[in-house]
């Protein structure tokens, strides 16, 4: 049987079944159903209005950006986009949402689709139930000293997308790969920043075990684990929960079919690296879903859907495969280039005018990104070297018009002045000497001045060649083509 694990202590065989529920906060200037500013942090309760506070007579209105984000992410997943979609009310009994209900969807705007995850053994598709739109709730803050509770409604009504997977994840590593792939698509489509620490991307894992014993399969009660705000936390929480459920079943024998086998909600605690019981999960009837009467059913325009599909474009995994196959780039190259859409767009724009894709990737990922990080800038900052400039620099190296040392000097001046390299090589009087006769004259002078180094070379001392090559470059003031100079020097030494 596939995906079966064996407990080293008891010898029990079991299968891990994980489904993920993820909440993606949408990058939008306003909240989901009102005009309040949608941003992180700030003075508590400074971004509220009658609508998000549910004051009498206040009505919701639809945020077009929420629809746009849902459709683009759904298209990235390969979902079916439902042309007609509406909203519902879900009963909510906590004080951080003053209406007493959450505006959400019972019929998702996007259904089906999948997220591809990359594993050591290849690629796996985690299929999705779908994606729906809803609003976020506020924050409840409890002071440890006094026990007093405060409510901050700034986040109340923030635009959210909930992505629900099928229970097809088989272990903690797959769950982390799923979370990483989801965050990558969220960032790549530009619909969110995917910041897990600030809560812009929140992932809950529904976990249970299928334990195989004596020809029977025993299914442990499902636990929904929350508060996993990093990839490390996801892995630790799931591994802990697997051990906990296995031990609990051995002690109690309780399964999903048992009267006490109720789904529970647990939170992950970083300090103890364990999951902690919060509450029993309510049944569907507790939500008391009903249609949202204040928001009409929306019909999506077919032409608009096409425009959004074009904005999504080629996805990161497909782009990595293409760049690697077409240009011989390494796994590190393609993974780093596609980490941000702006970065890979920069590379492909520069590539249109560059003769060496690999050398271009090296200069971009090592030199330019290093320089930008030190300066606190990004690839799209006006102070960054433009794609055409970096391509021109790489081409000068390829054509032998500048050597490595000169190229680095050019790069520094390009970064500080914004000038094109072809202008700078004239201003800095950079000339790469390729003329064989001129280079041979440098070599002849160096050999005449260093007879001991010639003897050392003849005696098999490898450092002698490096020394003589250094002297040739010094004699030429760094302008001799190093490859040509090295070839000619070794040929001359063989004649000595």
What angle (nearest 5°) sits at the alpha carbon of residue 292, between those of residues 288 and 294? 145
The answer to whether residues 374 and 444 belong to one domain is no
Predicted pLDDT of residue 344 = 96
Nearest Cα residue to 465 out of 473, 474, 456, 476: 456
Residue 285 pLDDT level (bands cut at 50, 70, 90): low
Nearest Cα residue to 368 out of 323, 316, 414, 403: 414
- Alpha-carbon distance of 23 to 134, in angstroms, equals 9
Q: Is residue 300 part of a domain?
A: no
Predicted pLDDT of residue 1 = 41
Nearest Cα residue to 248 out of 226, 267, 264: 264
Residue 113 has pLDDT above 60, yes or no: yes
The answer to whether residues 349 and 224 belong to one domain is no
Predicted pLDDT of residue 145 = 82
Predicted pLDDT of residue 496 = 63
What's the rounded mean pLDDT across residues 82-99?
Answer: 93
- Alpha-carbon distance of 412 to 370, in angstroms, equals 12
The answer to whether residues 29 and 104 belong to one domain is yes
- Is residue 414 within 8 Å of 372, Cβ to Cβ? no
Q: What is the pLDDT of residues 225-265, one digit of tens each?
A: 998 999 999 999 999 999 999 999 999 999 999 988 899 99
Q: Is residue 301 part of a domain?
A: no
- Alpha-carbon distance of 194 to 227, in angstroms, equals 15
Q: What is the pLDDT of residues 24-35, one digit of tens each?
A: 999 999 999 999
Residue 433 pLDDT level (bands cut at 50, 70, 90): low
The answer to whether residues 344 and 453 belong to one domain is no
The answer to whether residues 333 and 445 belong to one domain is no
Which domain-ending residue is among 238, 256, 291? Answer: 291
The answer to whether residues 415 and 456 belong to one domain is no
The answer to whether residues 149 and 10 belong to one domain is yes
The H-or-E segment that residue 180 falls in is helix 172-189
Q: Is residue 304 part of a domain?
A: no
CATH of the domain at 462: 1.10.10.410
Q: Is residue 177 part of a domain?
A: yes
Q: Is residue 395 part of a domain?
A: yes
Which domain-ending residue is among 400, 427, 454? Answer: 427
The answer to whether residues 417 and 458 belong to one domain is no
Predicted pLDDT of residue 88 = 96
Q: Map residue 439 onto helix, strand or coil.
A: helix
Residue 436 has pLDDT above 90, yes or no: no
Give the E-state strand segments of 47-113 in sequence order.
80-81, 84-85, 88-91, 101-104, 110-111
The answer to whether residues 125 and 186 belong to one domain is yes
- Top-confidence range, 92-96, 121-125, 168-172, 397-401: 168-172
| Distance (Å) of CA 392 to CA 163, 325, 353, 460 | 44, 24, 7, 41
The answer to whether residues 142 and 249 belong to one domain is yes
Contacts 24+ apart (CB under 8 A), 186-189: 186/24, 186/73, 187/340, 187/341, 188/76, 188/315, 188/316, 188/338, 188/341, 189/69, 189/72, 189/73, 189/76, 189/311, 189/312
3 sits in the region (left: phi over 0; alpha: psi -120 to 50; else beta) called left
* Percent of the chain at pLDDT exceeding 70: 98
- Is residue 454 within 8 Å of 493, Cβ to Cβ? yes
The H-or-E segment that residue 140 falls in is strand 139-142
Q: Is residue 299 part of a domain?
A: no
| Distance (Å) of CA 468 to CA 127, 333, 338, 440, 456 | 63, 35, 43, 13, 11
Q: Is residue 86 part of a domain?
A: yes
What's the rounded mean pLDDT across residues 309-320?
Answer: 94
What's the rounded mean pLDDT across residues 352-366?
Answer: 95
**Domain carrying residue 71:** 4-291
The answer to whether residues 49 and 189 belong to one domain is yes
How far is C-alpha 422 from the chain's CA centre? Answer: 36
- Alpha-carbon distance of 188 to 52, in angstroms, equals 30
Query: In which residue are the tokens 């997220």 written?
Result: 115
Number of domains in the chain: 3
Q: How far apart are the first and last CA of the chain?
A: 72
Q: Model-level pTM? A: 0.84
- Alpha-carbon distance of 275 to 222, in angstroms, equals 13
The answer to whether residues 194 and 72 belong to one domain is yes
Nearest-10 crossing angle of helices 172-189, 231-252:
150
Query: In which residue are the tokens 């929480």 written?
Result: 237
């Amino acid at each position: 049987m596939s995906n079966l694990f064996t407990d080293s202590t008891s010898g029990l065989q079991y299968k891990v079944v994980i489904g993920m529920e993820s909440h993606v906060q949408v990058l939008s200037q306003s909240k989901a159903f009102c005009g309040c500013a949608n941003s992180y942090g700030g003075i508590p309760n400074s971004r509220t209005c009658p609508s998000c506070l549910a004051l009498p007579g206040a009505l919701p209105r639809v945020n077009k950006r929420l629809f746009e984000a849902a459709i683009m992410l759904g298209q990235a997943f390969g979902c079916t986009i439902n042309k007609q979609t509406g909203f519902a009310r879900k009963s909510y009994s906590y004080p951080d949402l003053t209406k007493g209900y959450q505006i959400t969807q019972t019929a998702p705007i996007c259904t089906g689709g999948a997220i591809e995850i990359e594993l050591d053994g290849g690629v796996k598709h985690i299929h999705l139930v779908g994606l729906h739109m809803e609003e976020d709730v506020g924050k409840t803050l409890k002071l440890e000293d006094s026990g007093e509770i405060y409510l901050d409604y700034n986040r109340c009504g923030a635009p959210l997308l909930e992505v629900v997977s099928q229970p097809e994840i088989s272990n903690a590593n797959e769950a982390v790969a799923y979370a990483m792939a989801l965050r990558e698509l969220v960032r790549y489509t530009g619909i969110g920043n995917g910041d897990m620490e600030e809560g812009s991307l929140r992932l809950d894992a529904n976990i249970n075990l299928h334990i195989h014993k004596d020809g029977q399969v025993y299914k442990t009660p499902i636990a929904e684990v929350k508060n996993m705000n990093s990839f490390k936390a996801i892995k630790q929480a799931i591994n802990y929960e697997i051990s906990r459920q296995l031990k609990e079943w051995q002690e109690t024998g309780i399964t999903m079919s048992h009267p006490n086998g109720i789904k529970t909600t647990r939170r992950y605690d970083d300090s103890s690296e364990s999951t902690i019981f919060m509450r029993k999960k309510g049944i569907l009837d507790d939500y008391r879903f009903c249609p949202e009467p204040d928001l009409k059913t929306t019909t999506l325009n077919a032409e608009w859907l096409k425009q959004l599909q074009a904005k999504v474009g080629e996805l990161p995994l497909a782009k990595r495969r293409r760049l690697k196959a077409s240009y011989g780039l390494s796994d590190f190259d393609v993974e780093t280039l596609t980490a941000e859409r702006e970065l890979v767009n920069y590379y492909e724009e520069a590539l249109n005018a560059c003769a060496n894709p690999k050398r271009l990737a090296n200069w971009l990922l090592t030199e330019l990104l290093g320089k930008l990080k030190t300066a606190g800038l990004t690839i799209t900052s006006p102070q960054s070297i433009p794609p055409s400039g970096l391509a021109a620099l790489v081409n000068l190296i390829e054509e032998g018009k500048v050597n490595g040392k000169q190229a680095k000097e050019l790069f520094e001046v390009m970064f500080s002045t914004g000038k094109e390299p072809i202008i700078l090589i004239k201003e800095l009087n950079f000339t790469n000497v390729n003329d064989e006769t001129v280079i041979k004259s440098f070599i002849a002078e160096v050999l005449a001045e260093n007879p001991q180094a010639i003897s050392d070379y003849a005696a098999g001392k490898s450092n002698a060649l490096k020394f003589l090559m250094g002297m040739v470059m010094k004699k030429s003031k760094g302008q001799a083509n190093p490859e040509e100079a090295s070839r000619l020097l070794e040929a001359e030494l063989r004649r000595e």
